[in-house]
Amino acid sequence: MMPSVETKPDAGLKIKHAPYTIARFHPDYPPSLISLLGSEAPERLWAIGRLELLNLPKTALFCSNRCPGDAILAAYDQAQKWRDKGRCVISGFHSAMEKECLQILLRGPQSIIICPGRSIESMRLPREWRLGIEDGRILLLSPFESSHRRATVALAEHRNRLVAALADEIYFAHITPSGGVARLAAHVVMWGISVYGRYGMKKGILGQPPILQENGDTAMPKILMVNHNE
């Protein structure tokens, strides 16, 4: 029988790149996954790195695969602000824009939580990731067991809900209508998490018109707070 949590690496030692597991009802399991995802919360998580990074204030980053130039520039600027302010960012870093933002974040000292849309067991890690893990500022987290070796659309959508449920606020760099990120946005509106960004939507989430801001951004409806200065 697999233990609830395997021995976690000592923060003062060089971290091995083998994942350990956190069972759903273990004290280290993030409570927001249970409260927001309910029965969809994964039975266990696989992690590489310091799980304590989950206790930091976190911004989730999402961006549709198709992203216009103005949204790209805004996302670059936002990633630089997070890097300079030391903000912890969590994302799948899967879309092209998300990957570009990750490269900006990797050049800073702040913490990063990377959630691949596949299993992290036997996953080949880029050198920058390995160094960040060993420095204690990068955590890899996945809800997928070893049989899920390739990312799929279904796995990506499941991963995105997990990322959103772990975040304290969510930044949407761009949302393509009717895409997976749009479905996620409609879902998290119900959670009351702070959401901001440049949405690119002709119609607001849930069919409501977007609220236009002076800087050209649009605030999603039914959000507790929209902050464009983070």
Given the DSSP bridges, would you call strands 58-63 and 169-174 parallel, antiparallel or unpaired? Answer: parallel
Q: Which two tokens mark 24?
A: 């759903």
Domain membership of residue 146 as a residue range? 20-219
The verdict on residue 7 lying in a domain is no
Q: How confident is the model at residue 10 (pLDDT cuts 50, 70, 90)?
A: very low
Taking the model in full, what pTM does it have?
Answer: 0.81
Query: Within 10 Å of residue 185's Cβ, how many Cβ atoms?
Result: 24
Looking at every residue in the chain, the average pLDDT score rounds to: 80
CA 39 and chain centroid, separation: 20
Is the separation of the CB atoms in 218 and 204 below 8 Å? yes
Q: What's the average model confidence in pLDDT over 178-207?
A: 70
Residues 6+ apart with CB under 8 A from 24: 34, 41, 42, 43, 44
More confident residue, 151 or 60: 60
Q: How many domains does the chain have?
A: 1
Question: Given this model, what pLDDT does residue 189 score?
Answer: 80
Region 38-58: mean pLDDT is 95
Q: Which CATH number characterizes residue 162's domain?
A: 3.40.50.450
Residue pLDDT, tens place only, 50-100:
999 999 999 999 998 888 888 889 999 999 999 999 999 999 999 899 999
Residue 14 lies in a domain: no
Domain membership flag for residue 32: yes
In a domain, 2, yes or no: no
Residue 11 placed within a domain: no
| The two structure tokens encoding residue 218 | 């649009």
| Domain-embedded: residue 226 | no
In a domain, 167, yes or no: yes
In a domain, 15, yes or no: no
Alpha helices by DSSP H, listed for 19-95, are: 31-37, 69-85
Give the pLDDT confidence of 121-148 residue by residue, as tens digits.
Answer: 988 899 999 999 999 999 999 999 877 7
What secondary structure letter does DSSP report for 7?
Answer: P
| DSSP label at residue 150 | S
Measured CA to CA, the distance from residue 85 to residue 212 in angstroms comes to 27
In the chain, what are the helix, strand and coil shares in percent, each to the nearest 5? 35, 20, 45
Q: Rounded to whole angstroms, how far apart are CA atoms 133 and 131?
A: 5
